[in-house]
Structures are given as structure tokens and as C-alpha cells.
Amino acid sequence: MKTNELISKLKQSDVRAVARLLTLIENEDKNVETVLKNIWHLTGKSYIIGITGPPGAGKSTIVDLLAKMALENNFKTGILAVDPTSPFSGGAVLGDRLRMNSAQKAGIFIRSVASRGHLGGLASTTRFMINGLEMLGNDITLVETVGAGQGDVEIVKVADTTIVVEVPGLGDEVQAQKAGILEIGDILVVNKGDRPGSDRLAKELKMMLSLGEHKKWTPPIITTTATKDLGIDELWNQIMNHREHLENEEINQTRLGKIKYDLENQLSQHLYTRKLIQIGENEIENMAERIFNRDIDPFTAIEEIIKQ
């Protein structure tokens, strides 16, 4: 499919064209910038719900049920699932997608993307892939992170509502997670609520919130058993409550801040790449040897490279 044809079909919300665009974005194809430039004015209209949490917490099952719930409430929905990277093919392992039976049967567009070693629980191309998905005319886009630890909080820079899923039986759950991932949650979910320890975990989370900084929105704690479709109604209602809480002015300011964050990252990467082309890779190696031999300190080295 040629670039002009792809752009034309994307504007018609053609599913095959969207799938093609997502592949181009994931592979960082040289033509993808041209396509994104031409459709950018049509993106940014979808409400983004991020779901994160440790491996095995049941995120995929929750995403599956939320997608079904969105459809029942007349919201057109798409799913982007960040999977671990296959050590053999470099692609997504597809574990998340295989567990989303209800969404697949309902014809909801699901795309798995490999993290490819990118830290933070997302892939480096996630933001643009969300924009690509929006060309289907989605009202809601669900983004599931790869199994995330306490430092994998990048989802908060993407989602309008961030859901953190926890499960009992992971040891000292709150202490292990509190330094990072718990603090980003707009909604906290204790999944596998039929397991021993779920009530205690919910109480610990409530205690953690009471010790934290008081904000306009207090994250609700919801107990679910996703495999039995229990608690998903309440979770959906809280998502809608949070969406309502984020009045237009506030959500626009938040999204503006996220675009600024993305822009800074892209600018940093582009400037670095251009500088590397300008000075050549050998100069970096030579400077590293000078630092190693203590002929120059790293701070002066950086200044010299920038001046070149």
C-alpha cells in the first residue's frame, strides 16, 4: 500500500490501513512520519484508560471485560496490549491477546506490541500507536502494560485514567510497590478477590492512601474477581466517575503536559542522533578512552562534544 493510498484509507477508518500503520510505527519505518503528519489533526479524541500491575495480576482479563462493558455502553473501543518481547523473533509473545476472548468475539480491534526492551512497562512507540488506533474512531482506547514493577510508571504519561491492579499472595505487597506504581493509580484494583488475603491487601492499600498526599481525587479501591466477572461493573462506574471528575479544562491541561513530556523526549533523541552523525561514532569512543585514562573528566568531555 503506497503512502498516499494509506493516508486516504486511514481517513476512511479502514481497519486494514490502521493495522498497516501500526506495523509501520512499531518498526519505526522511514515513511511513518509522513503518514502521521497527514492524520495528526484527526487524532487525540479518544479517552485513554491504562491498566498496569505486576505479572499474573489478571490485567488481560480485566481489559477484556472492560472492553466488553464499553461496547455495551455504546463506546467504540480499541485495545493496545504491550507484551513481553520474544527472544527469538523480537515480536510480541501475544499472551495478552490470547486471553481476550470476549473482546475478540465482539469484533473489537486488538493489537499486541512488543516492549522490545523499553523500560517503563510500555513500548517506545506506544504513544503513536494509540494515535494510529484512534483512526478507527474509537471513543475509548484501553492500553495494557507489560507486567510492571514499582518503577514501571510510564503509563501515567499516556493514560487519562490509570488503573493499578494488585493481587494477594505476592508477599509484602504494599511495601514492595509503594515507592512507584501505587502512586500513579487513579483507581486501585485488588483482583482475585476470592483468594485469602484480599481483604487484608485492600486495607493496606487504604492505609497507604491515607498516609499519602491529599488530592482532589481519592483513588477508590475496588475488589474484583475477573475470572468470574465480579466487581467489573463497579470498576467501570469508577472509571466513568473519574472521567467526569476530569472536567474539560483539567483534562486538557493534563494532556498538554503529556504532549510536552513527549516533545522533550523526542527532541532529546533527535538532537542526540543528529549530534552523533555530526561528530561520528569514533569521537565518542575516543572521548571515552580519554575519560578512562583520566586525561579528561566526563563533564569537560560533554562540553567539548557540544562545542564541536
pLDDT tens by residue, 242-260: 999 998 778 888 889 888 9
Give the helix ranges, DSSP H, for the chain.
Answer: 3-11, 15-26, 32-39, 59-72, 95-98, 101-105, 126-133, 173-177, 198-211, 232-245, 248-279, 281-292, 298-307
Cβ atoms of 100 and 160 closer than 8 Å: no
> Alpha-carbon torsion 30, 31, 35, 38, what sign?
positive
Pick the closest to residue 65 from 194, 224, 229, 243 (CA basis).
229
Q: What was the pLDDT predicted at 155? A: 86
In this prediction, residue 176 carries a pLDDT of: 45
Own/partner contacts of 240-246, CB < 8 Å, gap of 24 or more, are: 242/161, 242/186, 242/187, 242/217, 243/47, 243/160, 243/161, 245/216, 245/217, 246/160, 246/161
- Percent of the chain with pLDDT strictly greater than 90: 46
Considering the segment(s) 45-245 as one domain, its CATH architecture is 3-Layer(aba) Sandwich (3.40)
Q: What is the model's pTM?
A: 0.84
* Count of residues in the chain: 308
Instruction: Indicate whether 92 pLDDT > 50.
Output: no
* 42 burial via Cβ count (<10 Å: 0-12, 13-18, 19+): middle
Over range 260-269, report the average pLDDT: 86
Q: How far apart are CA 17 and CA 6, in angstroms?
A: 6
Give 253's strand partners: none
pLDDT score at 87: 44
pLDDT at residue 88, rounded to an integer: 43
Residue 272's pLDDT band, with cuts at 50, 70 and 90, is: confident
Domain definitions of the chain by residue range: 1-42, 45-245, 259-307
pLDDT bracket for residue 206 (50, 70, 90): confident
Q: Assess contact for 177 and 155: CB atoms under 8 A.
A: no
How does pLDDT run across 32-84, given as a tens digit for each residue? Answer: 989 999 999 999 999 999 999 888 889 999 999 999 999 999 999 999 988 76
Residue 179 has pLDDT above 80, yes or no: no
Max Cα–Cα distance, the chain, nearest Å: 67
Q: How far apart are CA 252 and CA 246, in angstroms?
A: 9
